[in-house]
Amino acid sequence: MAVELKQVSVVYGEQYALRRVSLSVARGEFVFLVGATGAGKSTLFKLLYGERRPTEGEVWVLGQPVHRLKPRELPSLRRQMGIVPQDYPLLPRKTVWENVAYGLRAIGYSESAVRQRVAQVLALVGLNEQARQLPSQLSGGEAQRAAIARAIANNPPLLIADEPTANLDPDTSWEIIELLLRINLRGATVIVSTHNRTIVDRACQRVVAIDRGQILSDVPRGGYPVELDRLYASVVL
Amino acid sequence: MIDRLRFVVHETWESLTRNAPMQAAAVSTACIALILLGGAGMALYKLDAAAQALPSRFEVEVFLKMSATCAQALQLQAELQAWQEIERVLLTPREVAWEAQKRQLAADVNLADMPNPLPDKLTVRVRVPEQLPAVAERIKRLPLVDEVIDSRAELQTVLSLSRLVRWIGLGAGGLLLLAALVLIYNTVRLTIFSRQREVRVMALVGATLRSIRLPFILEGMTQGLIGGVLAATITLFAAALLSEYVTEQWVFLRDLPPGLPPVATLVGLPTLGALMGGLCAWWATLRYVRI
């Protein structure tokens, strides 16, 4: 399993952000996590990369018990994950090339390896021509592709993208999802949170719906359209 | 390894070049604090040397009564020389002293016809400086002795100066050092906030806590180091200027052993600055850099 959550709860004060959530994601799977704002998607992601600890339950990622890991053990786990967070996508004073290189340098890649990997990954996300541009010069879709490029620069087996299509028009959103699907086809497990029904419908992948901290339904790949209609009817998006 | 070092140095430079006014405030406060501490240290070292050196020159000057004969003076010299506490006793006969006085004042006054007003003088040196007061008291009570003069006043001056320097230097220097520590801590904290995106990116890509914190610690060390280098330069320059004035005011300080060697100041203050800067920055990163 790439990810396994067993009866996980997260409590903020007296409010449940997640309540007894169990979820398994196999290696190589593509999963959409859908739900309204505040449903618990970001909290679930933070559990996966150890930024938040569960109040109860177990979190296993790539065979490692994240709920038990000490802070000094988190970096080695995160090097096996690509994380596209909702906040702070790119460093504004650095070019696209520097943004992607920054992550690699921070984890000790040599300069020659950095040059090689950045070129490869920018070609993969289609940003070769924008390599020298600053984030402020990019469109929303290009900025998101740059953030994905940085996340996959060290070729992680697991990619987590938190709302990568937020504030993007439908065509650009689909471009981003296509890119994530290509990364998935290359062997990486991909988990994407969104509340964009159109792209979820079109991608035809596994969809997990979450609402008020609980998993309401889990529609397998190809479950479109009957289960998805029921799913959307149950979730306030 | 070189690539990693380059990354750390680059990140440190990025931190240092943000918040220039805060960086300047931290460096200048560290500098002033270190000047006070360094200056106080140098002065205390010199005054301690003075306090150590002066007692070896402490000698009691014993003036005999005018009625004392030469034979009596010689006998008293022999008696005192036998005391255990006394290292040496020199006799200056009144005739010898008068001749010397006449020669010294010959240009201004003609003393040839004047009767000799000077008494015989014994210069008594004790073995241990602490025994001086007791020895002086005992000598005072001897029947042939008219007056005993010792140099305790000089020692008191040195000790008073030493106390003054210690209180002003360590008190004000300590307070300013505390201010410098708080400023460096605050500057590093602000840099951490202003570089929150970089910290977050490094944490998410799997950089270790140590490698995220290191540039900030180096930033604090650099602030302290620059403050220390400035402080050492200013302290040495000021010490050279002041030393001339001080030895003019207190002549007995002129022949003292030299103070701290300049290299000790040049190495000591920057090292102290770098250490305190690094410590503050480390503390700030412990609180504000998490993954």
**A215 phi and psi, to 5 degrees?**
-80, 120
Minimum mean pLDDT among A67-76, A212-221, B30-39, B239-248: which range?
B239-248
Query: pLDDT digit string (tens) for B254-264?
Result: 656 566 677 88
| B206 contacts in chain A (CB < 8 Å) | 74-81, 107
| A22 pLDDT more than 90 | yes
CA distance A115 to A113: 5
CA distance B81 to B91: 11
Query: pLDDT digit string (tens) for B171-216?
Result: 877 887 788 788 888 888 888 888 888 899 999 999 999 989 999 9
Query: pLDDT digit string (tens) for A27-42?
Result: 999 999 998 888 899 9
What pLDDT score does B256 carry?
60
Q: Cβ of A107 and B200 within 8 Å?
A: no
| B40 pLDDT more than 60 | yes
**B66 phi and psi, to 5 degrees?**
-65, -25
Per-chain mean pLDDT for chain B: 83
Q: Whole-prediction pTM value?
A: 0.70
Query: pLDDT digit string (tens) for A211-229?
Result: 889 998 888 887 655 556 6
Tell me if the bond preceding A225 is cis, omega within 30° of 0: yes
What pLDDT score does B173 carry?
75
What pLDDT score does B60 carry?
82
| A134 min Cα distance to partner chain B (Å) | 15
Q: Closest CB to B3: pick one of A80, A85, A111.
A: A111
| B108 pLDDT more than 80 | no
Q: Cβ of B7 and A105 within 8 Å?
A: yes
Q: Cβ of A79 and B203 within 8 Å?
A: no
Q: Which residues of chain A approach chain B closer than 8 Å at the C-beta? A: 49, 51, 71-72, 74-81, 83, 85, 87-88, 91-92, 102-111, 114, 150-151, 154
Q: Cβ of A75 and B198 within 8 Å?
A: no
| B210 min Cα distance to partner chain A (Å) | 9
Q: Cβ of A75 and B208 within 8 Å?
A: yes
pLDDT band at B243 (very low <50, low <70, confident <90, very high): confident
Q: How far is CA A179 from CA A55, A84, A165, A182, B59, in A?
A: 35, 13, 12, 5, 95
Interface confidence (ipTM) of the complex: 0.87
Residue B142 C-beta-side C-alpha neighbours within 13 Å: 23
Q: Answer whether A172's CB lies under 8 Å from A10's CB.
A: no
Minimum mean pLDDT among A132-136, A169-173, B37-41: which range?
B37-41
The dihedral formed by the CA atoms of A86, A88, A91 and A97, expressed in degrees to the nearest 10: -20
Q: For residue B104, give both structure tokens.
A: 């010294």
| A51 contacts in chain B (CB < 8 Å) | 291
What pLDDT score does B28 carry?
85
What pLDDT score does B185 carry?
86
- In A, minimum Cα distance to B213 occurs at A106
What pLDDT score does B31 carry?
86
Q: If you write DSSP's letter for every residue of A139-163 in order, what string do you get?
A: -HHHHHHHHHHHHHTT--SEEEEES
| B208 contacts in chain A (CB < 8 Å) | 72, 75
Which residue's structure tokens are 């210069």? B123
Which residue's structure tokens are 């790949």? A221
What pLDDT score does A43 carry?
93
What pLDDT score does A232 carry?
66
Q: Cβ of B206 and A79 within 8 Å?
A: yes
E strands, chain A, where? 3-12, 15-25, 30-34, 56-61, 64-65, 81-84, 158-162, 189-194, 206-211, 214-219
Instruction: Give the residue from B166, B188, B174 showing the smallest Cα distance to B34.
Output: B174
Q: Cβ of A75 and B207 within 8 Å?
A: yes
Q: Closest CB to B209: pick one of A71, A77, A88.
A: A71
Q: Cβ of B201 and A103 within 8 Å?
A: yes
**CB neighbours of B282 closer than 8 A, spacing ≥ 6?**
B213, B217, B220
Strand partners, A4: A24, A60
By CB atoms closer than 10 A (0-12, 13-18, 19+), residue B108 is exposed
Average pLDDT over residues A94-117: 93
Q: Cβ of B3 and A105 within 8 Å?
A: yes
Burial B61-92 (b: 16+ CB within 10 A, else e): ebbbeeebeeeebeebbeebeebeebeebebb
| B165 pLDDT more than 90 | no
What pLDDT score does B252 carry?
57
- State the helix-helix crossing angle for B196-205 and A140-152, rounded to 10 degrees: 50
Query: pLDDT digit string (tens) for B115-160?
Result: 888 899 999 988 877 788 888 889 999 999 999 887 666 667 766 7
Q: Answer whether B182's CB lies under 8 Å from B6's CB.
A: no
Q: Cβ of B197 and A105 within 8 Å?
A: no
Of the residues A78, A109, A152, the best mutation for testing chain B's interface (the one with the most B CB atoms within 10 Å of its CB) is: A78
Q: Cβ of B207 and A106 within 8 Å?
A: yes
- In A, minimum Cα distance to B11 occurs at A106
Query: pLDDT digit string (tens) for A161-213?
Result: 999 988 888 889 999 999 999 999 999 999 999 888 888 888 889 999 998 89
Domains and CATH numbers, chain B: 2-54+157-288 (no CATH), 59-150 (3.30.70.3040)
What pLDDT score does B20 carry?
80
What pLDDT score does B81 carry?
92
| A103 contacts in chain B (CB < 8 Å) | 201-202, 205
Minimum mean pLDDT among A108-112, A220-224, B274-278: which range?
A220-224
More confident position, B44 or A81:
A81
Q: Cβ of B291 and A75 within 8 Å?
A: yes
CA distance A194 to A162: 7
